Each structure stands twice: as structure tokens, then as C-alpha cells.
């Protein structure tokens, strides 16, 4: 049994890509996309006709409307390949506007439903700002399931659990990147790998907290830099993995064991933690890594949304 098959016995494996033609070979349960992945896909020759087709069908409509049609088209194609759910992201430029995020999410879901897609097969991705979390709480009450992304801090995870969101995506690799860059020459790659990896430790802390306190929100580790980070989180509810790392897992037959144990976490001595808005904002502000990476992530997704709009205008 290769590592990918072994991982599937412990964790729900999710493919992190907009390139839906790559999905079949890995047979993931779910798939996640974001503006950067869609931008990357539409610049490939295989997907240029799809972009042109969507733009032609909706020419003259506002760019944000055409964008949502494009995202949903990719999502529908992905859903033909996987048995589970696809995550589609709300425009990151709305990350600090709860009402606008709710409105955009409703529109995206309506577009899916117009294509005959059951809403249970769609997760709306929203940045884990305070406003994003409140928007998600509203959407969840309406039966629109959410995936809270760009999550770097424990306070973000706790607030998402309180809001009863369906799923969170803590970013393992970007946490690792920040700590490695900050340490500079003092970074010891060997000593800081596996269970000592700061990104892995962040997800472990969130997972154990959720399981100990009965929070139903699913934990999906994301943004991996290496197979070692993935195997160190075997047993997490879900892990969303790039095609490149999925291929590495499929090519390895190294042993893989359970790293996170939900049952064991239930008996851990972990305090109950709650965050209102003021406490959330202070806790996030006190976490330099999370503050910087959240801002950086939103900026990057905003920039890629603009690039995607430029391509749509040229199509």
C-alpha cells in the first residue's frame, strides 16, 4: 500500500487545485480551489477555451458576476470528477465586509443550484477575519456550508468553532514559512520537522481543542510544503493537498501511522476558551505571525482576482 492509500484510511484526502483534469488519478474525496489556483489553471492551454466560453456567455455583465460564473463553472467540472464537495472562494476584496460576503456567497450558491448541484456539495470559502467569521455564521444558519480559510491563529479557530462553521483550513506551510524566515540562519530544519514543525503544532492544538470540547467544525490542514508535514497530521479530519504532493505520496510505500487521535484528545486537560470581538482582535494582534500572514494572504488573493479580471476582459 502506498502512502496516499494509507493516508486515505486515516484522513479524508482533498485535492487542492483548479486543474480538474488532474483529479481522477488521485481519486480524492473533495477538492478545494482559490483565486490563485483558478488563475493558474485558466492560463493553461487546456482551460483557455473554458474561460473564453464563460466570458462570451456573460459578456456585458459586471466583472464580479462573470467571475462568479467562472468559479462555479470550474466547481461544476470538478464535481463531475469527485464524489464529495468542492470549495469555492468569495472575492477576497470583501474580507472585511460581512454583508457583502453574505450576498456574494448566496449568489455563488444560487449559481450552483441553477446547475443542479445540491448545496451540500459546495463549501463557500471565506477569509477568517472577524467579519468573515460572522458572515459564515449567518450563512450556516441558512444551510450554506462554509470553509474558513487563511487561518493561522488559535483565536481564529476558536471563533470559527463558536460560529459553528462547517470546516476550517489552517495553513500549515505558511506558518512554517514565517517561522523559518524569522529564524534565519538559526533555523534547524531537522529539529523543526515532523511534530516540531510550527505549522503542524498549530493544527494539532486546534484539532485537540475541537475534539476535547465537542466542536463539530471539521479541521482540514492546508498549504503543505512537504510530505513530512502531511504525514505528521495523519488522522486529521481532512487534509487538502496539491497534486505534486499527492503524487509524492502515491510514489512512496514508507510506513504511515496515526498522528492525530480524536478519541485520545477527548480526555486531554484543555481549558474552555471563548472569544468575543474585542478579545479576538486583541489575540490576533498579539500574534505577529498570524497578523502578517492573514494580511499577506488577503493581499495575494486580491491581486490574483484583479489579474483574473484582466484575463476575462481580454478573452
Question: Which residues are the active-site residues?
Answer: 125
Alpha carbons 85 and 30: distance in angstroms, whole number: 5
Nearest in space to 252 (alpha carbons), one of 229, 227, 230, 234:
227
Joined together, the cell numbers standing for residue 279 give: 478579545
From the CB of residue 189, how many other CB atoms can be counted at a distance below 10 Å? 8
Decide: 47 and 41 in contact? Cβ < 8 Å. Answer: yes
Alpha carbons 175 and 290: distance in angstroms, whole number: 8
- Look-up of cell digits 469527485: 82
Decide: 79 and 120 in contact? Cβ < 8 Å. Answer: no
> Alpha helix (H) ranges present in 129-276?
130-141, 154-162, 172-183, 198-212, 227-231, 243-250, 262-265
Alpha carbons 79 and 98: distance in angstroms, whole number: 28
Alpha carbons 41 and 59: distance in angstroms, whole number: 21
DSSP string, 212-246: HTT---EEEEB--S-HHHHHTTTTSSEEEE-HHHH
Amino acid at each position: 500500500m502506498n502512502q496516499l492509500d494509507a493516508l486515505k484510511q486515516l484522513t479524508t484526502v482533498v485535492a487542492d487545485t483548479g486543474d480538474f483534469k488532474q483529479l481522477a488519478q488521485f481519486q480524492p474525496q473533495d477538492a478545494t480551489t482559490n483565486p490563485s489556483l483558478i488563475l493558474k489553471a485558466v492560463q493553461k492551454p487546456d482551460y483557455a477555451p473554458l474561460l473564453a466560453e464563460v466570458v462570451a456567455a456573460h459578456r456585458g455583465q459586471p466583472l464580479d458576476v462573470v467571475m462568479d460564473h467562472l468559479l462555479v463553472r470550474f466547481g461544476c467540472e470538478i464535481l463531475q470528477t469527485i464524489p464529495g464537495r468542492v470549495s469555492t472562494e468569495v472575492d477576497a476584496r470583501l474580507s472585511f465586509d460581512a454583508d457583502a460576503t453574505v450576498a456574494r456567497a448566496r449568489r455563488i450558491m444560487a449559481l450552483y443550484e441553477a446547475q443542479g448541484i445540491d448545496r451540500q456539495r459546495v463549501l463557500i470559502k471565506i477569509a477568517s477575519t472577524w467579519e468573515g467569521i460572522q458572515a459564515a455564521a449567518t450563512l450556516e444558519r441558512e444551510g450554506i456550508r462554509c470553509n474558513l480559510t487563511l487561518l493561522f491563529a488559535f483565536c481564529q479557530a476558536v471563533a470559527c468553532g463558536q460560529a459553528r462553521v462547517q470546516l476550517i483550513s489552517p495553513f500549515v506551510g505558511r506558518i512554517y514559512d514565517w517561522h523559518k524566515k524569522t529564524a534565519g540562519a538559526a533555523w534547524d530544519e531537522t529539529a523543526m520537522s515532523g511534530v516540531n514543525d510550527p505549522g503542524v503544532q498549530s493544527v494539532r492544538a486546534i484539532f485537540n481543542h475541537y475534539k476535547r470540547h465537542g466542536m463539530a467544525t471539521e479541521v482540514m490542514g492546508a498549504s503543505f510544503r512537504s510530505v513530512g508535514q502531511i504525514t505528521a497530521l495523519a488522522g486529521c479530519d481532512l487534509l487538502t493537498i496539491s497534486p505534486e504532493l499527492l503524487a509524492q505520496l502515491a510514489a512512496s510505500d514508507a510506513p504511515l501511522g496515526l498522528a492525530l487521535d480524536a478519541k485520545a484528545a477527548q480526555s486531554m486537560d484543555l481549558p474552555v476558551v471563548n472569544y468575543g470581538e474585542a478579545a479576538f482582535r486583541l489575540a490576533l494582534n498579539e500574534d505577529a505571525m498570524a497578523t502578517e500572514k492573514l494580511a499577506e494572504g488577503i493581499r495575494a488573493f486580491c491581486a490574483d482576482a484583479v489579474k483574473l479580471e484582466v484575463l476575462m476582459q481580454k478573452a
